[in-house]
């Protein structure tokens, strides 16, 4: 029998996984296959789409084929995948985040993780190893029904871009040391780099403050609307409202998931806004503002729905159409 090339089972499994994964990701991104002859640990590169337009957010893809999930994997809730340290270091050199996918060829599920995020705090300590074990959890997957990029992948893309800025700062620190020591360095290029980064940093600070101002404005508007709803509830039949709000509408703690009353939120919001006005460089305040933006929307959503129900009970034959559209049918930013 003449000798012929062998199409190995592992090769077949890997190709099936890559082909299927490309089909899945193509639902929300433009996918380009990396030529196998230059494959150093990245199989594909993708750019996210908004409807049919690319939006400049890229990520790299490493694909692994897998047979169906066994009972032991189901029990522990994750796969373990050995990755070479040389591959890890190559991913770290990339301008875009690398997402690792493990494709279940039987069930058609593409499980994924951000491997560099898992080992971020032990990069130095693993350099003496040949491989590192990465966990790919079963609760994170996409399939052919996935029409949008998972929000956590989008977040990984954005956060990795910030990491790149940190790498630039490390290079600038190196340039500074070279200048101080009198080492040979391209001064013109270094100064131009500093100028551009300083300009970008100023723009970033301006954008940060603008985002904070937008959040504050939204918090104020929605809280004012919720306050007005509370006032409307106070003038309805007291017997109806008191049945549900025994301490009064303004002290009721059931309108938010955090169990804060309207009075509680009013006090905390005023304190947070004052804190921001006095310390705009405190980056932790942005996260707090976003939390209260969510809290106030939660309050407005629930107190509005409650007002609609109480208004219908107070006046069963009245026209509450406008209130229904403003509360129950309203589109909300947070689900």
Domain ranges of the chain: 9-148, 160-201, 203-327
How many CB atoms within 10 Å of residue 210?
10
Backbone angles phi, psi at 103, to 5 degrees: -100, 120
Query: What is d(CA 144, CA 244) in angstroms, rounded to the nearest whole number?
Result: 46
Would you say 285 and 211 are in contact if contact means Cβ atoms under 8 Å apart? Answer: no
What token pair was written down for 66? 């897998």
Ramachandran assignment for 28, one of left (phi > 0), alpha (psi -120 to 50 degrees), beta (any other): alpha
- 121-172 per-position pLDDT tens digit: 999 999 999 999 999 999 999 999 999 999 999 989 988 877 766 666 676 7
Please report which confidence band the pLDDT of residue 244 belongs to, taking 50, 70 and 90 as the band edges.
confident
The answer, as to whether pTM is greater than 0.75, is no
- CATH of 9-148 among 3.40.50.300, 3.40.1350.10, 3.40.190.150, 2.40.50.180: 3.40.1350.10
Please report which confidence band the pLDDT of residue 201 belongs to, taking 50, 70 and 90 as the band edges.
low
Query: What is d(CA 74, CA 137) in angstroms, rounded to the nearest whole number?
Result: 10
pLDDT at 59: 96
For residue 31, is pLDDT > 90?
yes
């Amino acid at each position: 029998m003449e000798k012929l090339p062998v199409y190995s089972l592992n090769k077949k499994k890997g190709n099936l996984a890559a082909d299927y994964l490309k089909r899945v990701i193509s639902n929300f991104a433009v996918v380009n296959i990396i030529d196998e002859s230059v494959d150093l640990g990245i199989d594909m590169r993708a750019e996210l789409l908004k409807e049919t337009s690319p939006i400049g957010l890229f990520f790299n893809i490493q694909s692994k084929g897998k047979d169906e999930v066994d009972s032991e994997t189901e029990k522990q809730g994750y796969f373990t995948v050995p990755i070479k340290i040389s591959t890890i270091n190559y991913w770290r050199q990339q301008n875009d985040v690398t997402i690792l996918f493990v494709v279940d060829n039987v069930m058609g599920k593409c499980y994924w993780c951000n491997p560099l995020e898992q080992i971020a705090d032990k990069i130095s300590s693993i350099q003496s190893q040949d491989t590192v074990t990465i966990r790919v959890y079963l609760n994170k997957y996409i399939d052919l029904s996935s029409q949008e990029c998972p929000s956590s992948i989008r977040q990984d893309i954005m956060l990795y871009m910030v990491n790149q800025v940190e790498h630039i700062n490390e290079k600038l620190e190196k340039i500074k040391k070279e200048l101080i020591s009198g080492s040979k360095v391209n001064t013109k290029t270094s100064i131009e780099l500093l100028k551009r980064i300083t300009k970008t940093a100023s723009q970033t600070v301006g954008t940060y403050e603008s985002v904070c101002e937008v959040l504050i404005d939204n918090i104020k508007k929605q809280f004012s609307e919720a306050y007005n709803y509370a006032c409307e509830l106070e003038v309805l039949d007291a017997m109806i409202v008191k049945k549900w709000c025994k301490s009064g509408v303004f002290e009721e703690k059931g309108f938010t998931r955090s169990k804060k009353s309207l009075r509680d939120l009013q006090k905390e919001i005023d304190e947070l806004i004052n804190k921001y006005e006095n310390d705009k460089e405190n980056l932790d305040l942005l996260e707090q503002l976003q939390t209260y933006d969510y809290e106030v929307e939660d309050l407005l959503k629930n107190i509005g729905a409650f007002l609609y129900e109480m208004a219908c009970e107070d006046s069963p034959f009245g026209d509450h159409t406008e209130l229904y559209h403003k509360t129950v049918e309203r589109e909300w930013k947070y689900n």
